[in-house]
């Protein structure tokens, strides 16, 4: 059995990573494979809403089962910011240095450093919507440590660990990350459909 499913992302690395975990019962196709080159709209203001908006758009436009993700960092003392604005917190999209600098500035003198990374994956399977949430809780340091990973990784220490995400190997981070936890649930669900 070989079921095609679209992962609504432009990020080929994410597609390859999940394809390897899914095995060959499923054939993942990317937006590029579908010939879709524009960015998908993410305008709902929540991770649940944005991932659903993207997955439903592709399902309706291309008629293929589809899932999409949306992730970000939620900081308790900042009322959940940067949240859905994580990629462009400081303005320009994915300027990680500026985003980290702004986060440190906004937390200056703040003792409550609790934060969590969250991923929501929405799957649209034969028109039915399923959602999977992955959360990893931790704290925000007062200065950056480590050079691996991306985004807020150099500032985030997951609970129960000493190292930041940016000081962990890819393998270490991928065992405990918000994205990994959401993907694991998605995979269990999909593999049940294939039985």
The sign of the CA dihedral 174, 178, 181, 182 is negative
- Does residue 149 touch ligand IMP according to CB under 6 A? yes
DSSP code for 76: G
Asked whether the beta carbons of 21 and 180 are under 8 A apart, the reply is no
Beta carbon of residue 13, minimum distance to ligand IMP (angstroms, whole number): 11
For ligand IMP, which is the closer residue by CB, 67 or 72?
72
- Does residue 94 touch ligand IMP according to CB under 6 A? yes
- Does residue 153 touch ligand IMP according to CB under 6 A? yes
Beta carbon of residue 127, minimum distance to ligand IMP (angstroms, whole number): 24
For ligand IMP, which is the closer residue by CB, 72 or 190?
72
- Does residue 151 touch ligand IMP according to CB under 6 A? yes
32 to 11, 57, 58: CA distances (angstroms): 9, 15, 12
What lies within 8 Å, CB to CB, of 179 at 6+ separation is 69, 71, 119, 134
From 71, 100, 144, 164, residue interacting with ligand IMP (rule: CB under 6 A): 71
Residues in the chain: 195
Binding site for ligand IMP (CB under 6 A): 70-73, 86-87, 94, 99, 117, 149-153, 165, 177
């Amino acid at each position: 059995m070989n079921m095609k499913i679209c992962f609504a992302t432009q990020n080929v690395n994410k597609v390859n990573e999940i394809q390897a975990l899914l095995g060959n019962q499923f054939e993942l196709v990317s937006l590029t494979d579908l010939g879709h080159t524009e960015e998908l709209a993410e305008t709902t203001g929540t991770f649940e809403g944005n991932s659903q908006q993207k997955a439903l758009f592709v399902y309706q436009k291309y008629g293929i089962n589809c899932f999409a993700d949306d992730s970000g960092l939620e900081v308790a003392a900042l009322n959940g910011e940067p949240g859905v604005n994580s990629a462009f917190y400081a303005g320009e999209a994915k300027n990680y240095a500026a985003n980290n600098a702004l986060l440190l500035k906004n937390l200056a003198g703040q003792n409550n450093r609790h934060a969590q990374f969250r991923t929501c994956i929405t799957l649209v399977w034969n028109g039915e919507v399923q959602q999977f949430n992955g959360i990893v809780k931790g704290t925000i340091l007062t200065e950056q440590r480590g050079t691996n990973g991306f985004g807020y990784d150099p500032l985030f220490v997951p609970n129960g660990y000493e190292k930041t995400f940016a000081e962990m190997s890819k393998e270490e981070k991928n065992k405990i990350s918000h994205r990994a936890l959401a993907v694991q649930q998605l995979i269990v669900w999909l593999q049940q459909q294939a039985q």
